[in-house]
Amino acid sequence: MTGAPLTLGPLAVAPISLTHYLLLAVLLFCVGLYGAISRKNAIGILMALELVFNAVNITLVAAGRFRPAPDAVGQLFALFVIAAAAAESVLGLAIILAIYRRRVVVNADEMDLMKH
Amino acid sequence: MQAVLFYAISAALLLSAGMVVTSRNIFHAALWLAVALFAVAALYVMLGAYFLAAIQVLIYIGAVVVLAIFVINLTRSVAGAPVTLSRRWVIPAALVSALTACLIAVALLRSGVPPGAAAGTASGTAAVTEPGTAAVTAPGAAGPDWTPALGRHLLGDFVIPFELVSVLLLAALIAAIAIVGKDREDEK
């Protein structure tokens, strides 16, 4: 097995590498995951999802930058993710607004019309 | 120098992200989201992705956060009470996200990611003594600005995804208008 030993000490003194960015992205992803699970407000859930998208984008850009021959494809993928996230955000907020107008709820666990 | 910058931006990013998911006022959460997205833009600048940093500020902070704040204001409770956030499942959510973090981090550290192009950082630490030449933001070997290459990719070998994304955005625009504008037509 080619795995490195599981110590974070060398990472703290090493120059900033791809591993640093990936670890940061993992932490950001999991903060967003925590928010998406624990939030009750639907807008809060959408904002936590934006954090998740940004973690993925950091991964893509850092991976493209730290390749042996760096190129722009990682940034290109991040650009597409940003566009998809913008579309998701617009539609999600529009649906929240429409539900609020009809039923005056913004909490995700009260949007239970399709449960019954 | 670069390491200090990276750790400072990371700390700001994680702190503001934590405030986004734990703040009890949804309006404050949206403002902290703007801070977190700005920190991500700063990370893009550190990685040499200047165009992406500009796009991040324009689209995320300029459009998505503003849109979220608009919707927060529009859905604010008619009774006048501030929209506070009650949280559910705090312990399971913390457990799930912490375990996921451990899983991915352990897999990442054990997989032996290639250390990558860390050549520029050695000169970055040396450049503290000689100001003005520090390549803090652009340690890349093949040119600091990726924007021309990005444009060539977008109109070259990635032109079909590019057009599909524009169709997706148009569809989302029309759908949002159709969803939100429907009620008014019904009332008339």
Whether B38 is in a domain gets the answer yes
Q: How confident is the model at residue B130 (pLDDT cuts 50, 70, 90)?
A: very low
DSSP string, B48-107: T-HHHHHHIIIIIIIIIHHHHHHHHHHTS-TT----B-----HHHHHHHHHHHHHHHHHH
Residue where the block lists tokens 């060398």:
A10
Mean pLDDT, residues A82-86: 93
First to last CA, chain A: 52
pLDDT for residue B122 is more than 70: no
User: What number is the average pLDDT over the span A9-22?
Assistant: 80
Residue A55 has pLDDT above 90, yes or no: yes
* CA distances from residue A75 to A60, B24, B48, B84 in whole angstroms, order as listed: 7, 34, 10, 37
Range from A2-11, B75-84, B131-140, B176-185 carrying the lowest mean pLDDT:
B131-140
Sorting pLDDT into bands at 50, 70 and 90, what band is B83?
Answer: low
Residue B155 is assigned to a structural domain of this protein: no
Is residue B132 in some structural domain? yes
CB–CB of B78 and A95 under 8 A? no
- For residue B59, is it within any domain? yes
CA distance A49 to chain B (A): 10
Domain of B7 in residue numbering reads as 2-111+119-141
Q: Which pLDDT does position B8 carry in this prediction?
A: 94
Cβ(A28)–Cβ(B39) below 8 Å: no
Tally of domains within chain B: 1
Residue B139: band (very low, low, confident or very high) from pLDDT cuts 50, 70, 90: very low
In chain B, % of residues over pLDDT 90: 40
CA–CA distance, B16 with B14 (Å, rounded to integer): 6
**Which of 3.30.450.20, 2.60.40.1930, 1.10.287.3510, 3.30.300.20 would CATH assign to domain A15-110?**
1.10.287.3510
List of residues 6+ apart from B32 with CB closer than 8 A: B16, B17, B19, B20, B23
- Of chain A, the percentage scoring pLDDT greater than 70 comes to 90
With a cut of 60, say whether residue B141 has pLDDT above it: no
Mean pLDDT of A82-111: 85
Rounded mean pLDDT, A15-39: 90
Q: Does the pLDDT of residue A34 top 60, yes or no?
A: yes
Q: Is the pLDDT of residue B129 over 50?
A: no
CATH code assigned at B22: 1.20.120.1200
Residue B46 vs residues A51, A78, B40, B135: alpha-carbon distances, Å: 19, 15, 10, 10
| Nearest to B43, CA basis, from B19, B8, B16 | B8
Residue B164's pLDDT is 94
- CA A16 centroid distance within chain: 22
Nearest to B110 among A6, A51, A75 (CB): A6
The verdict on A110 touching B (C-beta cutoff 8 Å) is no
Of A1, A86, A95, Cβ closest to residue B59 = A86
Cβ atoms of B72 and B34 within 8 Å: the answer is no
Mean pLDDT of the residues in chain B: 78
Choose the closest CB to B20 out of A24, A35, A89: A35
| Residue B129 is assigned to a structural domain of this protein | yes
For residue B88, pLDDT beyond 70: no
- Chain centroid to Cα A24, Å, comes to 12
- B91 with A34: CB under 8 angstroms? no
Q: Is the pLDDT of residue B85 over 70?
A: no
Residue B47 lies in a domain: yes
Kindly state whether residue B164 falls inside one of the protein's structural domains.
no
Determine the Cα–Cα distance for residues A74 and A77; give it in Å rounded to an integer.
5
Q: Where are the domains of chain A?
A: 15-110
Res A6: pLDDT: 62
Mean pLDDT over A86-94 rounds to: 93
Write out pLDDT tens, residues B30-58: 999 999 999 999 999 998 889 999 999 99
Question: How does residue B2 score in pLDDT terms, banded at 50, 70 and 90?
Answer: confident
